[in-house]
Amino acid sequence: MEAKSLEGFSPERIPVRQIVVTLDEAGMRLDRFIRHHTPGVPPALVQRWLRTGQSRLNGKRAAGSERLEAGQTIRLPPFETRAPARPEAHTPPEWAMRILRDAILWRDPALLIVNKPPGLPVHGGSGQEWGVVDAMRLLLEREGQGEVPELCHRLDKETSGCLVLALNKMTARQMSAAFKSKEVDKEYWAWVAGTPQPPTGIIAQPLLKGATRGGERMVVAAVHGLSARTRYQLLEQHAGFSLVAAYPDTGRTHQIRVHLQWLGHPVAGDEKYGHPEVNRQLRALGIHRMTLHARRIGFVHPATGRRLEIEAPLDAAFTRMQQRVATPQPAVTQPSHEKSVPDSRFRYGTKPDGSFRSGSGGRRPAGRTPPAKSECRGSDPDQPPPGSKPPRR
Tens digits of per-residue pLDDT, 180-237?
A: 999 999 999 999 999 999 999 999 999 998 766 666 678 999 888 999 999 999 999 9
Q: Kindly tell me if the per-residue pLDDT of 143 is higher than 60.
A: yes
Q: Give the pLDDT of residue 126.
A: 64
Q: What are the backbone angles phi and psi of residue 224, rounded to the nearest 5°?
A: -95, 15
User: From CA 274, how far away is CA 260, in angstroms rounded?
Assistant: 9
Q: Is the pLDDT of residue 391 over 60?
A: no
Task: Indicate whether 272 pLDDT > 60.
Answer: yes
Whole-number pLDDT of residue 213: 67
221 and 344 in a single domain? The answer is yes
pLDDT at 155 over 50: yes
In this structure, is residue 262 part of a structural domain? yes
Query: pLDDT above 90 covers what percent of the chain?
Result: 48
Query: For residues 330 and 290, which has the higher predicted lDDT (pLDDT)?
Result: 290
Higher pLDDT, residue 285 or 212: 285
Residues 108 and 154 in one domain: yes
What is the arithmetic mean of pLDDT over 131-143?
Answer: 89
| Same domain (yes/no): 269, 123 | no
For the chain, percent of residues with pLDDT exceeding 70? 75
Does 237 share its domain with 347? yes
The whole domain housing 110 covers 93-171
Query: φ and ψ at 89, to 5 degrees?
Result: -65, -20
Is residue 298 within 8 A of residue 310, CB to CB? The reply is yes
Annotation marks residue 156 as catalytic: yes
Q: Which of 31, 134, 156, 270 is catalytic?
A: 156
146 part of a folded domain: yes
Contacts (Cβ under 8 Å, ≥6 apart) of 18: 73, 74, 75, 76
Higher pLDDT, 387 or 323: 323
Residues 166 and 258 in one domain: no
Is residue 172 within 8 Å of 150, Cβ to Cβ?
yes
d(CA 235, CA 332): 8
Are 257 and 334 in a shared domain? yes
Overall number of domains in the chain: 3
Average pLDDT of the chain is 79
Confidence at residue 279, expressed as pLDDT on a 0 to 100 scale: 93
Assess whether 64 and 119 both reside in one domain: no
Per-residue pLDDT, averaged over 50-77, amounts to 92
Of 142, 171, 200, the one marking the end of a domain is 171
- 5 part of a folded domain: no
Mean of the pLDDT values across residues 134-153?
86
Query: How far is Cα 310 from Cα 221, in angstroms, rounded to an integer?
Result: 31
Give 291-301 pLDDT, tens digit per residue.
999 999 999 99
350 vs 390, which has greater pLDDT?
Answer: 390
Q: Torsion over CA of 97, 132, 177 and 225, rounded to 10 degrees?
A: 160
Give the pLDDT mean for 244-250. Answer: 97
CATH of the domain at 274: 3.30.2350.10
Average pLDDT over residues 140-159: 87
Q: Is the pLDDT of residue 246 over 90?
A: yes
Cα–Cα distance for residue pair 185/163, rounded to 1 Å: 13
**Model pLDDT, residue 35:** 86
